[in-house]
């Protein structure tokens, strides 16, 4: 059960880096007034890392510390969480999970524009090819709350915004038993 309060649902926006999570999540937060949580930014600000991966050129997230840091905020409800991983978040936190997917050619271009090269670029493209994040979401959360959204174009972004806004408009809190 998602642990939500009177502020609204807890929503996870996840997907491979470059699929448009931050664009979608921040726009949703702006349109709804829900609290936007960029886990990467939070981890950087709070130094929630457990080392550095030289091969992938990125810090290693300390999952347990992130969960501890977010527990109180998530229990209040009304959050949109943006992160490229999902399996370490407690299932009870989320009312719905949206996994963004992007065609490899589009994703490759986006990641190159971000300066991704070598193993980091290759690893993220492979992650999308093998639908790693989608599979993690399906294994970590109830199937009925996991939804896949295509995120290749600005038209799809608008369509995704409308879909999530419609879901939020129909959302009802789960009764506590």
Binding-site residue set: 18, 20-23, 114
- Of the candidates 80, 110, 116, the one whose C-alpha atom is nearest the C-alpha of residue 98 is 80
Give the C-alpha distances (Å, rounded to integers) separating 78 from 5, 42, 93, 127: 7, 17, 11, 29
What residues are designated binding site for ATP? 18, 20-23, 114
End-to-end CA distance of the chain: 10
Q: Which residues pair with 141 in a beta bridge?
A: none
CB count within 10 Å of CB 60 equals 12
């Amino acid at each position: 059960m998602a642990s939500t309060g009177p502020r609204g649902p807890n929503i996870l926006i996840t997907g491979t880096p470059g699929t448009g999570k931050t664009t979608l999540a921040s726009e949703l937060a702006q349109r709804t007034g829900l609290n936007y949580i960029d886990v990467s930014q939070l981890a950087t600000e709070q130094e929630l890392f457990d080392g550095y991966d030289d091969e992938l050129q990125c810090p290693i997230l300390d999952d347990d510390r992130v969960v501890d840091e977010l527990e109180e905020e998530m229990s209040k409800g009304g959050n949109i969480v943006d992160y490229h991983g999902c399996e370490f978040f407690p299932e009870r936190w989320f009312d719905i999970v949206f996994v963004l997917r992007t065609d490899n050619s589009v994703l490759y271009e986006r990641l190159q524009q971000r300066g991704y090269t070598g193993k980091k670029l290759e690893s993220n493209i492979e992650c999308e090819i093998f639908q790693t994040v989608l599979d993690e979401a399906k294994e970590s959360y109830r199937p009925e709350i996991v939804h896949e959204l295509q995120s290749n174009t600005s038209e799809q972004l608008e369509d995704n915004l409308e879909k999530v806004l419609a879901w939020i408009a129909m959302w009802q809190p789960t009764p506590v038993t």
